[in-house]
Amino acid sequence: MIFWLIFLGLITYFIVGRSVAGITRTPVWLLWLVLMTPALIWTGWTSIYGENTPPPRVLIWGPFLICPLLYWLLVRLGRRPMSRPQAGQQQDKIRTSVKQQPTLKLDPTVQSKLKDCFPWSVYYLTEIEYRPQVVVCRGRLRTTPEVAYQRIRSNIEAEFGDRFLVLFQEGWNNQSQPFFTLFPNPHVNSTAKNQSEKLTRPGLALGLLAATGVTTTFIGTISIAGVSREAVLADPKLLLLGLPYALALMLILGIHELGHYLTARYYDIRTTLPYFIPVPFFLGTFGAFIQIRSAIPNRKAVFDVGIAGPVAGLVATLPLLLWGLAHSQVVPENPDANFLSFSLTALDPKRSTLLVLLSKLVLGSALTPDSAIQLHPVAVAGYLGLVVTALNLMPVGQLDGGHVVHALFGQRTAVLIGHVTRFLVLILATIKREFLLWAIALLFMPVYDEPALNDVSTLDNWRDLAGLLAISLLLMIILPAPMAITQLLLGG
């Protein structure tokens, strides 16, 4: 318990320092203390009264209701003054991954050429705003978003070459009409081109892969197979017991990120190779990631890149999980088990709707309402694959689920969905404490996703259906099986 509190505290302090230190004068340590108050209260209660004595409702709901409000007030009271252009940029939510360039200045001749790039029959230009690093062109859309973006972007490229990146975004703050934004293109100079040649570092990727193989094998031996450290030191061959868990987990995580990587390459999006994150505790790894280093062309690409990882990871997860369940043991139910109990404690499959369906499919009549499953190491990795898929499908910010809802509904609705999701997971954490770390992580995560170049065009019906299925999959993984399903499948 103390280890997880320290670990959570370090992560919280890092996130607070990165997210608000530049916009408020309120000390980071004070903001950190406010956010850590619920965890500190619950840890103190558990230390005094034990895990079997739940805290009173006032200690559960009080910190959740008061601390976020107090955090927001402290940030607002210490807020640093913002210059007018910056305020305007934040107001329009203009976000891009390109590096800042010198102040953009257009002479009268260039201004005239820019106006000529907007045919009145496609996009009736009414206003041009000149700001540091950006030109905002507002008007009325007179055709479909796809036609407007392609036509105007082609006109600008024909007139100015590759001088500008052209973004097409939804209106914000009750502005119903979408607007165009022009940024200086950072890839027109030799420095950026040299950087693109060094984008992938196979040596680093292989080194992290090997290190993660070592840490996951070690954790698989100690935490999953239940071998003591002393026994491992006395006989290093025992580390072979951790290989099934390590290989299965790394395969799932690797295929997940490979789905993102290959889809990004399909759309000619500059991206790094998948990099694993090895740690000598917890699961042996914090997962893997890729970094996208160029703008995404449209919402269709945002959707495809976002959903490719969970789909690829699920395709790898299901066969391993089914095989692992077939080699697992059915044991009596452990009342202390929770959603994340999967190694030395038997897992109650009823805590996940999808898991109970898969378990019944494999184990058949051996699974009863009062039974749990002692997971095989490969099944542990498969179950973690489901957990990772669920976490990534959370519709918040730059998580895969955030990309999906952004592509489905646009930035404004996606931001609202992100806020609602954080609140609902926070409520869920009061019922199931294993979701507390998720709730805190989502609380600090920005709810805004990076916009695509054409962030206005909508998706086709097949992608809409796939997005809704992805959200349904998330709910099936994290929500417990309804009573009707458990009675139908397990009886009792």
pLDDT-based confidence at residue 92 (cuts at 50, 70, 90): very low
What length does the chain have? 492
Residue 245 has pLDDT above 70, yes or no: yes
Residue 133 has pLDDT above 50, yes or no: yes
pLDDT-based confidence at residue 175 (cuts at 50, 70, 90): low
Secondary structure string (H, E, C) spanning 57-113: HHHHHHHHHHHHHHHHHHHHHCECCCCHHHHHHHHHCCCCCCCCCCCCCCCHHHHHH
- Clarify whether residues 71 and 101 are in a common domain: no
How far apart are the C-alpha atoms of 25 and 239, rounded to whole Å?
50
Give which of 393, 394, 317 is closest to 358, Cα–Cα: 317
- Clarify whether residues 34 and 181 are in a common domain: no
- Clarify whether residues 72 and 148 are in a common domain: no
Report the share of the chain in percent with pLDDT over 90.
Answer: 27
- Is residue 234 assigned to a domain? no
Q: Residue 31 is encoded by which pair of tokens?
A: 């903001």
- Is residue 269 assigned to a domain? no
56 backbone dihedrals φ, ψ, rounded to 5°: -65, 160
Q: Identify the pLDDT of residue 76.
A: 74
- Is residue 261 assigned to a domain? no
Q: pLDDT, tens digit, for every residue of 36-70?
A: 777 777 677 776 776 666 667 676 667 767 877 78
How far apart are the C-alpha atoms of 459 and 92, rounded to whole Å?
23
Residue 165 has pLDDT above 80, yes or no: yes
- Clarify whether residues 320 and 452 are in a common domain: yes
- Clarify whether residues 19 and 150 are in a common domain: no
How many domains are contained in the chain? 3
Q: Identify the pLDDT of residue 336.
A: 60
- b/e string for 51-90 if b means 16 or more Cβ within 10 A? eeeeeeeeebeebbeebbebbeebbeeeeeeeeeeeeebe
448-473: average pLDDT = 90
Q: Residue 113 is encoded by which pair of tokens?
A: 């050429």
Q: Identify the pLDDT of residue 87.
A: 38
- Clarify whether residues 50 and 169 are in a common domain: no
How far apart are the C-alpha atoms of 454 and 331, rounded to whole Å?
54
pLDDT-based confidence at residue 464 (cuts at 50, 70, 90): very high
Strand pairing report for 134-141 and 164-169: unpaired
Q: Higher model confidence: residue 62 or residue 146? A: 146
pLDDT-based confidence at residue 408 (cuts at 50, 70, 90): very high
- Clarify whether residues 65 and 18 are in a common domain: yes
Q: Residue 10 is encoded by which pair of tokens?
A: 């370090």
- Report the phi/psi class of residue 268: left, alpha or beta, with left for phi > 0 and alpha for psi in -120 to 50: left
443-457: average pLDDT = 84
Residue 403 has pLDDT above 90, yes or no: yes
Domain edge (last residue) among 140, 171, 195? 195
Amino acid (1-letter code) at residue 303: F
- Clarify whether residues 72 and 186 are in a common domain: no
Give the DSSP H or E segment for 467.
Answer: helix 461-478
Q: Identify the pLDDT of residue 462.
A: 93
How far apart are the C-alpha atoms of 209 and 199, rounded to whole Å?
18
- Is residue 245 assigned to a domain? no
- Clarify whether residues 120 and 178 are in a common domain: yes
Mean pLDDT of the chain: 80
Give which of 234, 199, 239 is closest to 218, Cα–Cα: 239
pLDDT-based confidence at residue 450 (cuts at 50, 70, 90): confident
How far apart are the C-alpha atoms of 26 and 29, rounded to whole Å?
9
Q: For residue 399, give every residue at least 6 positions away whose Cβ sits within 8 Å of its Cβ, in sequence order, or none.
A: 391, 392, 393, 445
How wide is the angle at C-alpha 342 spanned by C-alphas 336 and 480, nearest 5°? 70
Range scoring the smallest mean pLDDT among 263-267, 295-299, 338-342, 369-373 = 338-342
Residue 397 has pLDDT above 50, yes or no: yes
- Is residue 404 assigned to a domain? yes
- Clarify whether residues 115 and 39 are in a common domain: no
Q: pLDDT, tens digit, for every residue of 247-290?
A: 999 999 999 999 999 999 999 998 988 999 888 877 888 888 88
Range scoring the smallest mean pLDDT among 36-45, 163-172, 370-379 = 36-45
- Clarify whether residues 355 and 418 are in a common domain: yes
Range scoring the smallest mean pLDDT among 33-42, 215-224, 233-242 = 33-42
* 31 close to 9: Cβ distance less than 8 angstroms: no
Range scoring the smallest mean pLDDT among 126-140, 235-249, 298-312 = 126-140
Q: Identify the pLDDT of residue 354.
A: 92
| Helical segments of 327-371, H only | 353-363
380-386: average pLDDT = 92
Q: What is the DSSP letter of 161?
A: T
Place of tokens 């934040």: 90
Domain edge (last residue) among 27, 52, 77? 77
* 16 close to 31: Cβ distance less than 8 angstroms: yes
Residue 100 has pLDDT above 90, yes or no: no
CATH number at residue 116: 3.30.1360.100
* 373 close to 329: Cβ distance less than 8 angstroms: yes
Q: How many CA atoms lie within 13 A of 61 on its CB side?
A: 3
Q: pLDDT, tens digit, for every residue of 324-360?
A: 999 988 888 766 665 555 555 578 888 889 998 999 8
378-382: average pLDDT = 92
How far apart are the C-alpha atoms of 106 and 119, rounded to whole Å?
20
How far apart are the C-alpha atoms of 162 and 185, rounded to whole Å?
7
Which domain does 401 fall in, by range? 295-490
- CB-count exposure of residue 319 (10 Å: 0-12, 13-18, 19+): exposed
- Is residue 407 assigned to a domain? yes
- Is residue 270 assigned to a domain? no
Give which of 358, 283, 362 is closest to 314, Cα–Cα: 358
pLDDT-based confidence at residue 99 (cuts at 50, 70, 90): very low
- b/e string for 150-166 if b means 16 or more Cβ within 10 A? ebbbebbeeebeeebbb
Domain edge (last residue) among 177, 195, 213? 195
- Clarify whether residues 335 and 389 are in a common domain: yes
Q: Helices 436-444 and 411-431: crossing angle, nearest 10°? A: 150
- Is residue 201 assigned to a domain? no
Q: Identify the pLDDT of residue 12.
A: 65
Q: Identify the pLDDT of residue 287.
A: 86
Q: pLDDT, tens digit, for every residue of 6-20?
A: 656 666 666 666 666
Q: Residue 78 is encoded by which pair of tokens?
A: 């210490």
